[in-house]
Amino acid sequence: MKTVSVVMCTYNGEKYLREQLASLAGQSYPVMELIIQDDGSNDETIEIINGYKERHPELNIRLYRNSINLGFNRNFFSAILKAKGDYIACCDQDDIWEACKLEMMIKNIGDASLIFHNSVLFNSKSVIGKLHNRPLCEFPSSINALMIPRSYGHQIMFRKDIQELLIPFATLNLSYDYFIYSLSGVTGKIRYIDTPLVRWRRHESASTYSEKKGEGKIHGYINAVKALFRTLNMNTTRSYFKLYSSIPVADKTARKLADKMSRINIVNFIGICYLCYKHRYELITECSGIKQSLRAFFVPLFFVRDYAQYILRK
């Protein structure tokens, strides 16, 4: 039987932590170890964890407490590197896992390096709906994984061999979930299952909860072009894609695209956009025709506009 390490990072999570821990204890597939790394909580988080450790020895809870605050992403990287299971599944402190989550992921991962699933969003008032309203491509291409990272930490489970590839980047303030997703996609294969396996709690203050509403599509394309003139966005984009120069990217097109994105500027961006257009059938699978062509062409600019705001920080 393949073993699974679940990795959770906590910080002042007393309000919802019990629900999440209960859902882990109720998994139909055994958890080999539950690694919990706390980033300096000053509420009842540690007491709650220790209580579960006593009552649920089958979870094999391994609690680590940081001596200094690492921050969200570095904390996850550090905790992931401690995992010993054949597969590693990431876990937020305030969600609720469906009982069949791990079992479904183990059953469906096959030869993929990473598997991710749909989720149901909810808040303190009601169920909001699915995270992915339309089914995504079951097997995203390497260039899709590179340019459009689309999984959050709570959705992913990946093979342990990805862990070794993360070591050089673990001290960076890098969006751990997007990076693991893209890294898995360019060095191996990703699989998506459309079944919602987590109830993902959204807080009104969360950055992924409040999306821009009412922004017209044309305005969105205009803002994508304007992003080329935002120094911070452009510098972040170049720095991020330079990371891939030390990664064994298997797909030739993905390798070429990463190299070009590491040098993107207002002179060469048209060529990068055209490269994406040429590979539009691999890059964009949710639509066809003119819409597919337009989206594919603008993918590099959408990355600069959106992902560069937070994917790599100082």
Q: Which are the contacts of 77, defined by CB distance < 8 A and separation ≥ 6?
A: 166, 169, 170, 171, 172, 174, 176
Residues in the chain with pLDDT values less than 70: 204-215
Alpha-carbon distance values, 309 to 31, 174, 314 (Å): 35, 11, 12
Comparing CA positions, the residue from 279, 23, 296, 287 lying closest to residue 141 is: 279
Average pLDDT of the chain, as a whole number? 95
Examine the domain organization and report whether 112 and 255 are in the same domain: no
Given CA atoms 158, 190, 2, 117 in this order, what sign does their dihedral have?
A: positive
Quick one: 190 and 223 in the same domain? no
Residues 117 and 241 in one domain: no
> Has residue 207 been placed in a domain?
no
One-letter amino acid at 305 equals R
268 & 166 share domain: no
Pairing of strands 33-38, 61-65: parallel
Question: Domain holding 12: CATH number?
Answer: 3.90.550.10
pLDDT of residue 314: 84
Tell me, what's the pLDDT at 82? Answer: 99
Q: Is 142 part of any domain?
A: yes
**pLDDT tens digits for range 32-43:** 999 999 999 999
Here the tokens at position 202 are 């959204």
Q: Which two tokens stand for residue 144?
A: 């899709």
The identity of residue 41, as a single letter, is: S
Nearest to 183 by CA among 115, 244, 109: 244
* Residue from 74, 82, 105 nearest 34 by CA: 82
Q: Hey, what are 178's tokens?
A: 């997007």
The last residue of one of the domains, among 201, 225, 246, is 201
pLDDT value at position 215?
Answer: 56
Q: What is the DSSP string of 236-301?
A: HHHHHHHGGGGS----HHHHHHHHHHTT--TTTHHHHHHHHHHTHHHH--S--HHHHHHHHHHHHH
Q: Do both 112 and 196 map to the same domain?
A: yes
Q: Are residues 178 and 273 in the same domain?
A: no
The 10s digit of each residue's pLDDT in 234-282 is: 999 999 999 999 999 999 999 999 999 999 999 999 999 999 999 999 9
* Cα end-to-end distance, the chain, whole Å: 41
Cβ atoms of 147 and 257 closer than 8 Å: yes
- Rounded to two decimals, the pTM is 0.95
Q: Does residue 35 form part of some domain?
A: yes
**Parent domain of 255:** 217-313
